[in-house]
A and B are shown apart, each in its own frame.
Chain A
Amino acid sequence: AQTVTQSQPEMSVQEAETVTLSCTYDTSESNYYLFWYKQPPSRQMILVIRQEAYKQQNATENRFSVNFQKAAKSFSLKISDSQLGDTAMYFCAFSDPANAGNMLTFGGGTRLMVKP
């Protein structure tokens, strides 16, 4: 079974600074997807960024980028120019296209606080 570990339960960053959230995962599969989801307080979970395992290039979405290290099974999220609206729980997630309808396995989450 796949597992996803987020070792930082809470983090804080000053507005406009850069922060990196860590994620490691365990799988024997070679083809899979990795995701970072954001869950603001009392709001729905939304996708921040995704990475296909077969792609060597790290995904970027505006201020969000990942550092995907397949051999090390590491998938960190970097948020540049942090904004107050980035305050949320962030979940790293894994999916295997061949398993259970591509269901997501989530890490325990990192609570990010952006301070003014």
Chain B
Amino acid sequence: DTGVSQDPRHKITKRGQNVTFRCDPISEHNRLYWYRQTLGQGPEFLTYFQNEAQLEKSRLLSDRFSAERPKGSFSTLEIQRTEQGDSAMYLCASSPTGQGWAGELFFGEGSRLTVL
């Protein structure tokens, strides 16, 4: 069990460019979540998948944001036409479901986006 991994850990881009982040969840976890965390604040929910199905999207997820989990394993979060307000840490988390699970999410180290 290698934990949740995210790539890249840090991305610096110019306003207007597209960026993509990847998340590899813990292998047996069928739920995957994306959160955004700005400096000094708590994480805010963006979206989640159960297997390959995207089941919930926050109003924070504007049309410039898209997330996929094509085979129910890794996920990508793409931000198109980045704006300075997109600068944040993007956190990925995963979890199992079913009996015995008490609601804990397992987080990756995050991908920090800086938009110049």
Binding site for B on A (CB under 8 A): 4, 6, 33, 35, 37, 43-47, 50, 52, 91, 93, 95, 97, 100-109
Contact = CB atoms under 8 A, between A and B. Distances in A.
Contact of A100 (B41, B45, B95): B45
B85 interface: no
Contacts of B43: 45, 91, 104, 106
Q: Bin the interface of chain B by size.
A: 20 to 34
Interface of B: 3-4, 31, 33, 40-45, 48, 50, 55-56, 91, 95, 102-105, 107-110
Contact of B110 (A6, A44, A97, A105): A44
A105 B91 CA distance: 14
Contacts of A46: 107
A47 B48 contact: no
Contacts of B50: 101
A47 B105 CA distance: 8
Given A37-B107, A101-B56, 11 more contacts: A50-B102, A50-B104, A91-B43, A100-B45, A100-B56, A101-B31, A102-B31, A102-B95, A102-B103, A103-B56, A107-B42
B109 A101 contact: no
A35 B107 contact: no
B8 to A, nearest CB: 15
Contact of B48 (A43, A44, A103, A107): A103
Given A45-B91, A108-B42, A109-B40, A95 B48 contact: no
A49 to B, nearest CB: 10
A33 B105 CA distance: 12
Given A50-B102, A52-B102, A100-B56, A106 B107 contact: no
A15 B58 CA distance: 40
